Structure 1
Amino acid sequence: MNSEVSIISRSPKETIEFGKSLVQDARGGEVFALIGELGAGKTQIVKGAAIALGIEAEVTSPTFNIVHCYEAKNKTLYHIDLYRIEKLEGSLRLYIEEILHSKEICFIEWPGSIEQLLPPWTQYWQISIISENERKIIRLR
């Protein structure tokens, strides 16, 4: 996938389908940084990834838990939400660094507070609200 990818999602279902496509060829170790305002559809993308990986659990935003871990048959998906985190310190920082460098698939919402920790292979995706149901999704790098 090159850095010029840009799509328009016209429904939550299409945003979920986009999430499925992100992990279609995943081998493990992928890191996806999702950037966008509240309600842009970041969690919908993670829901799609979980469906594609065969995860049956309900995917919800880990805003208060910070990290959700979902087990699939042969892969693990981590969903990290740093909306409430200004500075990552201590054992939480170590835990997230461990996840980022594992062989598992990781999606991070609100990655700004840990940008310096993100591995060089991180895919950055910007999700922008166009209208109630439309989103523009752009790969930044």
Structure 2
Amino acid sequence: MDTEASIISKSPEETINFAKELVRPCQGGEVFALIGELGSGKTQLVKGAALALGFKGEVTSPTFSLVHCYKGEKFDIFHIDLYRVENVPSILSHYLEEILYAEAICFVEWPQKIEKLLPSWTQYWEITIIAQNERKIKRIR
């Protein structure tokens, strides 16, 4: 996908469909950093990716558990949510590094909290709320 890629999503379903296209070329090992305020649709994007990768269950935000792992047909999908984390202790850093460098597909919400741990190939996507059901989704690096 183009570095300057951006779309306007007019519904949660359009965000899910965008995510399905986003992960279609994935080969394993991709990391997506998702930037956006609460309620912007980051988890909807992960939901679409998980569906596209063959996960059949429910996708929810791991706000309190920090990490969810979804079993896809070809790859595991890790969903990391660091919203409630103030400081990342070294034990958690080691655990996150193992996830980030695995042959899975990884999505990180609030990535600025672990920026130094993120691989150089991380794709940064920003989701901006335009209106109640309208979002701008843009690759920023």
For Structure 1 versus Structure 2, the TM-score category normalised by the shorter chain is over 0.9
Distance 1:19 1:51 in 2: 9
Distance 1:136 1:74 in 2: 29
Which consecutive unaligned segments of at least 5 residues does structure 1 have? Answer: none
For the residue of structure 2 that corresponds to 1:129, the secondary structure is strand
Which consecutive unaligned segments of at least 5 residues does structure 2 have? Answer: none
Percent identical residues: 63
Distance 2:59 2:47 in 1: 6
Asked if residue 30 in structure 1 is aligned to residue 48 in structure 2, the reply is no
Question: What are the Cα deviations for residues 12-61 of structure 1, in whole angstroms up to 9, with x where unaligned?
Answer: 00001111111101110000000000000000000000000110110000
- TM (norm. structure 1) is 0.98
Asked if residue 113 in structure 1 is aligned to residue 113 in structure 2, the reply is yes
Distance 2:57 2:24 in 1: 19
For the residue of structure 2 that corresponds to 1:33, the secondary structure is strand
Distance 1:32 1:24 in 2: 14
The root-mean-square deviation of aligned C-alpha atoms, in Å, is 0.7
- Tell me the equivalent position of 1:17: 17
Distance 2:90 2:56 in 1: 32
Letter in 2 for 1:59: V
- Tell me the equivalent position of 2:85: 85
Asked if residue 99 in structure 1 is aligned to residue 99 in structure 2, the reply is yes
Number of equivalent positions: 141
Alpha-carbon shift at residue 140 of structure 1 (Å) = 0.3
- TM (norm. structure 2) is 0.98
Letter in 1 for 2:67: V
Distance 1:44 1:91 in 2: 29
Distance 2:12 2:88 in 1: 31
Asked if residue 52 in structure 1 is aligned to residue 28 in structure 2, the reply is no
For the residue of structure 2 that corresponds to 1:121, the secondary structure is coil
- Whether the 8 Å CA contact 2:93–2:117 is kept in 1: the answer is no
Q: Which stretches of structure 1, 4 residues or longer, exceed 6 Å deviation after superposition?
A: none
